[in-house]
A and B are shown apart, each in its own frame.
Chain A
Amino acid sequence: MAEKKPIGTVLVAGAGVSGIKAALELAEIGYKVLLTDASPQIGGILAKLDNQFPSDHCGMCRILPMVGREYASQYCMRKGLYHENIEILPFTELTRVEGDVGNYTIELLKKARYIDTDKCNGLGECIKVCPVEVPDEFNHGLTQRKAVYKPVPHSTPQMLLVDMDVCTNCGECVKVCPTNVINLGAEDEAFTRHVHSIILASGVKLYNLEEFEDAKSWAVSQDVISALAFERIISGTGTFDGQIKRPSDGKPAKKIAWVQCMGSRNRRQKRDYCSSICCMFALKEAMLARQKGGDDVEATIFYMDMRTFGKDFYRYYEKAVDAGVKFIRCRVQEVMHNPDKSLSMRYYDSQKEEFFVADYDMVVLSTGQIPHKTHAKLAKLFHLELNCQGLLPTQIYDKVKLVKPGVFLCGSLMGLTDLSEAISSGIAAAGQASTLLSSLDVTIIEEEQIAEPTTKDRQVPLISVVLCKCSEKVEKSSVDFGALEMGLKKFNFVGEVNIIDMVCSDQGKENLLKLLKKSQSNRLIIGACHPFMYRKSLKNLAKKAGFAASLIEIFDLSSIVHKGFFESVKKDQTHEAYSEIISIMENLKLKPALHVETLSMNRTALVVGGGIAGMHASFALAQRGVDVHLVEKSDKLGGYAGNNIHATIDDLEPVSMAKDLMIKVLEHKNIILHKNCEVAATQGSFGAFETRIRDLENQENQYLSHGAAIIATGGLEGKTAEYEYGNSANILTQAQLREGLSTGKIDVSDAQNIVMIQCVGSREKQGRKYCSRICCIGAIANALAIQEKNPDARIFILYRDVMTYGFAEQYYTKARGAGIVFVSYDLDKKPEVELVDGKPVIKFTESVLNSEIELSPDFLILSPGVDPEVSNREVGKAFDLPVNDDGFFIEADSKWRPIEFLRTGFYVAGVAHSPMTLKDAILQAEAAAQKVYAHLSSRKIHRAHVISKVHDAICVRCQRCVDICPYDARSYDKVLDSIMVDAAACQACGMCGVACQNNAARIMGFSDKQIMAVIDAKLSENPMFMVGK
């Protein structure tokens, strides 16, 4: 007999957003994940941020799985994460790693919390009596906390701990603890585990005023705060209930200034990088300040370059300008604390050539990301040296692959990432790990297959009620279980009422199973704590005893008992629990048994676009055994970068890289290439699409069946007619210059002056409304190349904002050091070019000295940005995928679902999404491949229990449901003359149900009848047991 294969297990070290995303991805495939975090809580920096660009609100729940969504709890992500395949280990550090690719033994150190969180009821009696007060890290010292505290106040369940560094060991907490779970003598606990792969996601640290010498001079007042502290101030859970007040005296802050680049872009402090996120962070905060505080709030941002480089970032900036946020281009030296507590800053206005002093109520320092201190520690664990940027060394094209095979990284550990990149990289790292695991002799967690009983739901409803007394830990005698039992038993549709204890424990589960096996009932209500954590296991248990999964309701008894009613009289708690149970029973009585079907998945992927992103995604899938159709419009693979860009400033060689990739793609047996083909139309739903492609040479149609698709159509160098382009041989684009320099066709050896103009036709209302992201770096690369050939040439780069975000800042620094002169210009005062004797003459205003310059450069080089692939709109139409005004594809959610489309089963990678660097395109391709693989891999994909359906007989085909469905899950089939529902895409949001006036569209398990019965129950003044019915 063959030995049972081990279950593929991955350690994800770091439970910030990228780590969580990586863990979810792997767990969805069916691998086991250990998710650790060095801090006492998961969530990373996001736990503190209520509001994220661009919606200025949260939305983290959108990273939860969309397909087969019942495997992870559908719950607020900022409060907790529950997935049956993820083991969460907070306050745990990775201390040792042994072994090699695919086989690691890791040692973890679980730090003592001094509180047994499994048993703690979270009510915090201990907190009340603790005599120690220290500044609360969560609110950045704006508030105080005790030695025993909740690290994240809004998490569920409450995870308290004792901070031993400040604890006085007075023992008061131990005395008052009603559940005896505090052990001040607890010790750290080391243990080892075996894993097959490791993903490092230890995240980011922010520069702070307390720690760094050069920032201390800013800390002149309590009202000078960090950006993250400002987040806590505007947070609803924050210090002032979301009102903008200054910490020193709680007075409303009406004049607020943001100071950018705090801690970054600083060569002197050896932090010569851009933190990448602060510009958007400050923009968002300034917008929020005005939204929350009203129009009389004055928001001013002091900046050097507004780095709005990402997709739709520039639009957001324009929105901020329109919303009245003020921008001052000056790096301020200091802030002065005035006697009236206001804060003064003095700045210089280059255009007016004048100094100004402005007073503020509050100054927010945009404290940048800095590489985490754990980098060095991690490097040591893996016997590696950090690279010159202080980062872990990765493989050249793959940012998520450590040089050590089998270990991957994501999030800000790769460098400095924003939210969407953190998410994409989490997915990509999971993708790399799953690729590795698929090559090993490991298996996935097989779902417990418990046959659903088919008969019980046809019986007259008879409900079994199980209440877990563990809720008694809340407050010993708060609920009168006896009265509850008596009351409930009086209903003729209640089969039995059982009060049991600790249903979450093994013993409790065993007891429950015994009870349920004896039951004659056909529906079940379980009242326990934290149903999100136990829902799946309790349901499985009940299924074993013969209950249908959809006829089991598990509700949060403990929180009902005390939620919101702390000041109310105790008898209410029994009453509230009772009336809640009645409501649930009313609902359950009417609930139909719902059955889950397995989706038939065509295990073939379609990739549109044979550029580097498309090829990478195809190969990544093929390697994992997925069949791929790769459709390319032209007659050759490689796309723009793979055919035109020979070298980049960061030592990548796209053309030769593409050639290698091309060979791999062409040789792989799982990839079928369709050259000279375009996509024409598609039909079907997730798991079973059929797409018609047309051969452009012979106009023949071919039909491809596939389960999912990746759109990687790429982009092109932008076109322009500005600045006399096309009218002189001396006016070139950066691409022409790059090509000319590498072939030697352009001779710069005698050139005296060369002028480059950035943002040609970009970031303006009449042109590309976006930053193309790569032009600044490209211009610098070319300028340095010229400089190398002709050190005597004067090179001017006329820019609006230098977009060298992240470590690309070092190229900017290098370029200046090489004597390249950067001159900023404003959109309302663009450089002027005219031709004299066929040669360009350029006039512009030198921004520092504020004087006019006229030059006859030998070459005028333009950076016209990146244009989207022209066929994007047709591709979008063929697949019913949205394309934005700029011509790029619109992802489902710019932050939380950056590589997915709203239409389930479609993903985007590379420049089809927005202009990006090669590495980013590869990262996205890897992530998109992972998303497809997760769906098309061997684990069965079930549709959810709760989905919408069509009652065809009464449907009038008005298609309002089709128009309103946010997930494109509904469509009208002309041939069948029926409304169809894509069961995988449907998220059961219920929009169709409301739009449909006669319930022809309905949500299974969420019927009007059920909800109206609940309303009845909720409003019933005389619960039936009171009147002795």
Chain B
Amino acid sequence: MSEFEPKIVGFFCNWCTFTAADLAGTSRLSYPSNIKIIRMMCSGMVDPKYVLKAFLNGADGVLIGGCWPGDCHYINGNLKARRRVAMLTEILKEYGIDEQRFWLRWIAASEGTMLRDVANEMTDKLKQLGPSPFNLSSNRKDLTAMGGL
């Protein structure tokens, strides 16, 4: 059997992390294709619903990438994101989604290498952890495919 390939949804801020992903691309930094990038204008634009949706639809991990504090193009959207992530983490933890599956990281536009490192680190972590409990629920256990709810 082939190795478990986790699916990660990346909500990346247009100004920093998305640009860093672009940079990683142009700098030939290879990072795992497990991360499905969705461009948001700001990490503060990531609604908790999106994160829940991603997990419910089969994501094994969610990575939100934003600008460093003080660096947000929209002044402080990233700080808002941080509070929401803290809140949402508490909810997800109660229902089996470990903190290690839901990351918020500050990755500036110039930090292509950090993006690569974070992507690698998260992919490795999720490989260790295995599929998300949302994908292993009794309802779905017998089903080979993973997907929407």
Contact = CB atoms under 8 A, between A and B. Distances in A.
Contact flag (A, B; Cβ within 8 A) = yes
Nearest to A587: B38
A376 interface: no
A158 B41 contact: no
B22 to A, nearest CB: 7
A236 B114 contact: yes
A991 B74 contact: yes
A834 to B, nearest CB: 46
Contacts of A334: none
Interface string B15-30: 1100111111111111
B75 A237 contact: no
Which residue, of A76, A967, A993, A1015, has the highest number of chain B Cβ atoms within 10 A?
A1015
A989 B112 contact: no
A57 B67 contact: yes
A532 to B, nearest CB: 10
Interface in B1-49: 7, 9, 14-16, 19-31, 33, 36, 38, 40-42, 44-49
Interface string B58-86: 11000000011111011111001000100
A993 B42 CA distance: 12
B113 interface: yes
A1015 B33 contact: no
A168 interface: no
Contacts of A236: 20, 108, 110-114
Which residue, of A61, A76, A564, A1012, has the highest number of chain B Cβ atoms within 10 A?
A564
Instruction: Give the interface residue-count category, chain B.
Output: 35 or more
A235 B30 CA distance: 19
A562 B29 CA distance: 11
Contact of A242 (B44, B114, B145): B114
A496 interface: no
B21 A563 contact: yes
Contact of B28 (A62, A566, A994, A1008): A566
Which residue, of A156, A565, A964, A989, has the highest number of chain B Cβ atoms within 10 A?
A989
B100 interface: no
A405 B132 CA distance: 69
Interface stretch (A201-209, A254-262, A596-604, A1017-1025): A1017-1025
B146 to A, nearest CB: 6
B44 to A, nearest CB: 5
B26 A1020 contact: no
A1021 B44 contact: no
A61 B46 CA distance: 21
A563 B116 CA distance: 12
Contact of A79 (B48, B57, B109): B109
Contacts of B21: 563-564
Which residue, of B26, B70, B112, has the highest number of chain A Cβ atoms within 10 A?
B26
A1016 interface: yes
B54 interface: yes
Contacts of B130: none
Contacts of A989: 41-42, 44-45, 73-74, 77
Interface string A43-55: 0000000100011
B25 A563 contact: yes
Given A78-B109, A563-B25, A1015-B38, A572 B71 contact: no
Interface in A1003-1029: 1003, 1006, 1008, 1011-1012, 1014-1016, 1018-1022
Contacts of A583: 38
A990 B42 contact: yes
A237 to B, nearest CB: 5
A392 to B, nearest CB: 33
Contact of B36 (A56, A559, A966, A1019): A1019
B25 A559 contact: yes
Contacts of B110: 50, 58, 78, 154, 235-237
A1016 B40 CA distance: 16
Given A58-B109, A154-B110, A1015 B25 contact: no
A242 B20 CA distance: 14
Interface in A559-614: 559, 562-568, 572, 576, 583
A1014 B37 CA distance: 10
A966 B30 contact: no
A56 B70 CA distance: 8
A422 to B, nearest CB: 19
A55 B47 contact: no
B45 A1006 contact: yes
Contacts of A237: 23, 27, 110-113
Contact of B54 (A572, A1008, A1019, A1022): A1019
B56 to A, nearest CB: 9
B24 to A, nearest CB: 6
Given A76-B109, A79-B109, A990-B45, A564 B75 contact: no
Contacts of A565: 30, 33
Contacts, number: 173
Contact of B108 (A50, A991, A1018, A1020): A50
Nearest to A996: B47
Nearest to B31: A564
Contact of A61 (B31, B69, B73): B73
Contacts of A1006: 41, 45
Given A153-B27, A154-B27, A156-B22, A966 B146 contact: no
Contacts of A564: 21, 24-25, 29-31, 33
B125 interface: no
Contact of A572 (B20, B33, B40): B33
Nearest to A583: B38
Given A902-B75, A1008-B49, A990 B40 contact: yes
Contact of A994 (B26, B46, B58): B46
Contacts of B70: 54-57
A100 interface: no
Which residue, of A56, A59, A153, A902, has the highest number of chain B Cβ atoms within 10 A?
A59
A236 B29 CA distance: 13
A993 B50 CA distance: 12
A241 interface: yes
A280 to B, nearest CB: 16
B27 A990 contact: no
A65 interface: no
Contacts of A988: 41
A994 B67 CA distance: 18
Nearest to A575: B33
A831 interface: no
Contact of B44 (A57, A563, A994, A1012): A994
Contacts of A987: 74
A61 B49 contact: no
Contacts of B76: 966
A74 interface: yes
A806 interface: no
A122 interface: yes
Interface in B93-110: 108-110
A564 B58 CA distance: 23
A75 B20 CA distance: 12
A153 B109 CA distance: 13
A57 B46 contact: no
Contacts of B53: 1012, 1015-1016
A574 B147 CA distance: 22
Nearest to A237: B110
Nearest to A893: B75
Contacts of B111: 236-237, 242
Given A55-B70, A1018-B9, 19 more contacts: A50-B108, A58-B109, A76-B15, A76-B16, A76-B109, A156-B26, A235-B110, A559-B22, A966-B77, A989-B42, A989-B45, A989-B73, A990-B44, A1006-B41, A1014-B38, A1015-B38, A1016-B53, A1019-B58, A1020-B147
9 contacts: A50-B108, A78-B110, A122-B26, A156-B22, A990-B42, A1015-B50, A1015-B57, A1019-B36, A1019-B147
The 9 lowest CB-CB distance pairs between A and B, nearest first, are: A563-B25, A990-B45, A55-B70, A236-B111, A989-B74, A57-B71, A966-B75, A1018-B36, A76-B19
